[in-house]
Chains A and B, each alone.
Chain A
């Protein structure tokens, strides 16, 4: 029976090669796209799951009052880990990681090769909680049993030792004026699916400046705390209340604790993560792409269903004969579902080949590493998808075709009746989806263009950013750089103004100290305005006398030691928003926090990503906060200029490694997720539109074939070419137009919602919808017209020969 069914299937496929190709290609496209999305979604959902017992691990978050707002953050009090473990039996283990705010140099003893890497301190519980970090060298148990041990990440170990073993080797960090000597206690692999990232780890007692965290109730953005619950810990409301208020037990702070499962960090982080967490994404992308995959599968399935339904009349006689020969409905339904499944399986096999071939390209596009293997997750998933799509796509035609009355078929009636409504409905659904995707694609592209072309209020071109680490005396280096005619300006700052979010409360005369204005603080030197071409509105930019600063700073430190009060005023420049929020006309000369005096007002510029509105900003010169060099260079001879910067840097700062990036590239990094989203929407949108085109192509082939005699008769009776074209095209145009009117409000709502993520957003212009509508209509018209043209130009004699 199976063999018989297969023969019928093959005959049908052979008889209608266009239909067959369209059906199978549609499926293949759908499954390829869905599989790509499947791989991506699975990877996104697998974050942190490499840690055994990951379901028991939580990150401790702090809820605290900042200005008028209650702010959630990963910042932690240093003593939280030890006290949580001590106070609550439900908590099996607690640990923290304290990141250094900048990269630090590291070299192998006796070598001159120096690298810059991010250091972090942890307590000895760290690897008990995070057991998923695989030790490539050394063991978890003895990793940090000695204060002088250092644990390297795989990348850092490779940079320092290449393929040589690192365990037991001596490393030196000369970040300060002394050497810190460490022995490598282990090399760990940090999986791609980890939010924790570090270059190397030190014990909390390691280095010459050991960190004593166990009793320190000081909150820091650098410290992140994690707990591991007992496996069957009894968690009731009372316990939750207790741990939420844990800080109040030890301090008079009103801060509360929240607990976030680590598996949620990647997709459900709704708080500022600063620079320490890597791989932070958003669950909305999972929904968007899962939805997209479903839509694509739905479209591919609808295609198959519509083409099968369209072929109904052509197979009516076959069904009639089989019914008369004794076939019951069940066996006929089985036959059609089998046919559908066979095609799905075939499409899936082809799809797997395509996916295998293009997966590295897709990984590159999404910045992920995918490996194509038949994992336990993939096999059942593929099986389910293939089965569902096959059944779903075959079930309607199966029941529809087997319901034909054989008597009506043999009498020459139209057994399909008015069921053409179904195929029209399918055109409607497919083009609605396609139009939504076209609008989405155009909007994402428009927003990205808007971001890239928006005037940030600063000059972003040809600026080289060089991380330097803390550097107190950068003056000579700057001067030497400026001797090169291709270097236009040099400025030092804490960071480049890419996405800078460090905040501090400010008060001034006339307001209550409690009523502070929370403003961003950027430490820059006197050349910052020139380098980034900032516009001054009032007063002057920062002027600074370094010898005065150090002299005053020394006096202040001395007084502090003696228990006396000594304040000295440091000039600051504020932005327009700050002045607006102060509510004063002229802030020049006003004192902030009794330690700063405003000497200028700078025109607002974007120092954070465009997700955020420009907030109040204070720019202050502090030689003690310099960690970055911003060099404005001439666009000509850039390679030579970069070499010059490198050589000069090595001359002045040999203790630190040299690296650089362009400011524009750093800006692009901020919008990487959106750029990736744009590319993916474009690709999958294209797939969806292609599937829709295949669908409409199949239907138009069917429509013209079905009406070939009618066309012949009309032509014989004098119908013009344009009339025949209109006859065949109008029906499709009508439904594509209706699809546009359904798709427009849906896509408006979707895109409007997405744009809310940005503080600065492009307009959702009418022309986006018009363009999408025209594109959909144009594609449909071109596809249908090709068939219509063929029918309209056909010789009517051929069509009417057998009448």
Chain B
């Protein structure tokens, strides 16, 4: 009887469990994701549509478009409530934020032009990878195969610090700098970069077609003399003197770009940004409204970043100490996308720059990385100077803003658990971040995000090899399959090989 009863129970269990869906996913969650992404697409399309505002071929001399910072009533800016950042703590695992990690080992840069001591800065374009090293720029396919030298600027203008980790190079003599300067950008397969020859007083905005690589000009023509060769097309001649040049340039569309001043300059001079057409026409001047008056000190505190990035092919801008994240729509619009409510933590421009002003209880933004679903924000409380770091006088908070529900989560990271060294020097080294439960890889905190929202960074093979012997990797809860994949990769790559890590 007992046996029959047990069989009956087993039969019921078999029937009820037989249709279990191993691939069951939360349909509501996916539906919500679709709605969010559709909205973002709509915003991007709208922005792109406005991007393509037809500007007449020739503008009357002295003509400027009137600047427009009005809110789009259909897509009003979202408020990121930093003032309450400590309210919700969440212990994210990497798999909560990221679906996939891709490791792309890069082919070696030809030896004669590869100076490892200069460090490497990656840039992930839609279909290509760019590596900037010193003033040189190298192009790779997305599969890591080497494609071209965009700009070759051999060693001689750069000294390295003793850190010897990648990206620790410091420039000793800017006056003689020749080659790629500042950030590089791309729209589709068109690369925008700045070629600077300080000695020859040259500062050009260049474009380079990454697809065809049929670039008409190599700069300078006399390679033997200058030892520098840059490929591309000169699109615009930028100012060379400090007064006339902007600290950063970013393309706004196929035929327009903007020059943006650092806050230290714009607050003093009253000029925030200017948009130009590639042919040189000035389109719009955007004044700085948070100016500093009666500044009597001879120096300024300056370690406060501003954020200029591309989000879905739209230039986006957050100025130092400012509360508004703008999408820059050519020719004349700064469209508010996010408002940061800093509350009692807000630093006024003047108090921020003035040495000696106490901002130990105030917050400023150190990292601001926007992806389609999240914005990763690093906040610093106090002034981030070498001494304050050494004495642990500052606090560092990591927060993640979830776009879909407008909530801000603080990561449960010790605010004083940072590396004692000054972050400006050891910017690559991330001692804190989110545990990688996908494949047991490195601690995660974004270093770079491209226009598509892909997060990426570059590491050396040596670093990866070292990592797979670490406890963090060995005791990681990641799946054995993924860990084995990473281990195999680490064993396969060479120590001096660069590996681009892409988090999606």
Give the B-binding residues of A (Cβ under 8 A).
45, 55, 58, 63-65, 70, 72, 89, 229, 234-238, 240-245, 248-249, 252, 254-256, 258-261, 263-264, 268, 380, 383-384, 387, 514
Contact = CB atoms under 8 A, between A and B. Distances in A.
Interface in B449-504: 479-481, 504
B7 A259 contact: no
Q: Is the interface of B mostly helix, strand, loop or mixed?
A: helix
A261 B19 contact: yes
A242 B95 CA distance: 10
Interface string B6-38: 011001000100111111110100110111011
Contacts of A255: 34
Nearest to A45: B15
A264 B18 CA distance: 10
A64 B18 contact: no
A380 B7 contact: yes
A384 B34 contact: no
Contacts of A235: 22-23
Interface in B248-294: none
Contacts of A237: 95
Contacts of B41: 252, 254
Contacts of A264: 19, 21
B33 A242 contact: no
A234 B15 contact: no
A264 B21 CA distance: 9
B479 A63 contact: no
A245 B31 CA distance: 12
Interface in B167-191: none
A70 B95 contact: no
B22 A263 contact: no
A63 B30 CA distance: 8
28 contacts: A45-B15, A58-B23, A63-B27, A65-B34, A65-B38, A70-B31, A70-B34, A89-B481, A234-B480, A234-B481, A237-B95, A238-B95, A240-B24, A241-B99, A244-B30, A245-B99, A249-B504, A252-B41, A256-B30, A256-B34, A258-B25, A259-B21, A261-B19, A261-B23, A383-B4, A384-B4, A384-B7, A387-B4
A70 B38 CA distance: 11
A260 B21 CA distance: 7
B22 A70 contact: no
A244 B31 CA distance: 11
Interface of B: 4, 7-8, 11, 15, 18-25, 27, 30-31, 33-35, 37-38, 41-42, 95, 99-100, 438, 479-481, 504
A234 B438 CA distance: 13
A437 B11 CA distance: 29
Interface centre among A256, A384, A387, A514 (most CB of B within 10 A): A256
A254 B19 contact: no
B31 A254 contact: no
A236 B479 contact: yes
Contact of A242 (B19, B30, B99, B479): B99
A55 B18 contact: yes
Contacts of A72: 27
Given A58-B21, A234-B479, A384-B4, 10 more contacts: A45-B15, A240-B23, A240-B24, A248-B37, A249-B504, A254-B37, A256-B34, A259-B25, A264-B19, A380-B11
Contacts of B438: 238
A749 to B, nearest CB: 25
B225 to A, nearest CB: 47
B30 A259 contact: no
Contacts of B20: 261
B100 A70 contact: no
B261 to A, nearest CB: 34
Contacts of A263: 18-19
Given A238-B99, A241-B99, A65 B35 contact: yes
B479 A70 contact: no
Contact of A258 (B4, B18, B30): B30
A238 B479 CA distance: 10
Given A242-B100, A384-B4, A258 B27 contact: yes
B440 to A, nearest CB: 12
Given A254-B41, A380-B7, A63 B23 contact: no
Contacts of B481: 89, 234
